[in-house]
Structure 1
């Protein structure tokens, strides 16, 4: 298997793991990616233009998936933090979140 084929296979596996949300295996594959990139650096003259374009496209696609996963995790963490927060919040007319006092809550219930 050529160096280009190896890195493509690794990038395909990385995409599968990103879509699956398997972050434990993703960590392991990052080590393989590093080794594969070193091999590509040594063999870059042996890669076709098409192979370089495919590898580049897959790498960019995976980067976008990784950024999306990171944003999703951050949003989930924020929702968990908000769910465990004992204070109540509401939105102002301007759309900004602000704490809602217990007194105001009682008046709204009455």
Structure 2
């Protein structure tokens, strides 16, 4: 079995593309009329869910591929330094929470969950 450590790659292009994806999704959420309060059916709520799920996917990818880009290493750093409990596995927890909340937001955006009475 090969036990050589994985060498960190700079991954500048990948990191910038991932950040641009998140910024693009955030701008699309804000451009479609983001509002605070309860989730209402509409395209802005669906886009918000996609944005939240994208963050979940980033945390999930950072757990497995933190050696690929500076952005994933930064997310792992957050998990290891700003979380309680501290550790890499918090990336899996954050991914699960973001994907769950993103799904609820998308379902609310389509009017399937949380229909206003």
TM-score, reference length from structure 1:
0.31
Who wins on radius of gyration, i.e. which is larger? 1
- Whose relative contact order is higher, 1 or 2, with alpha carbons under 8 Å and at least 6 apart? 2
Higher helix content, 1 or 2? 1
Higher strand content, 1 or 2? 1
TM-score, reference length from structure 2:
0.30
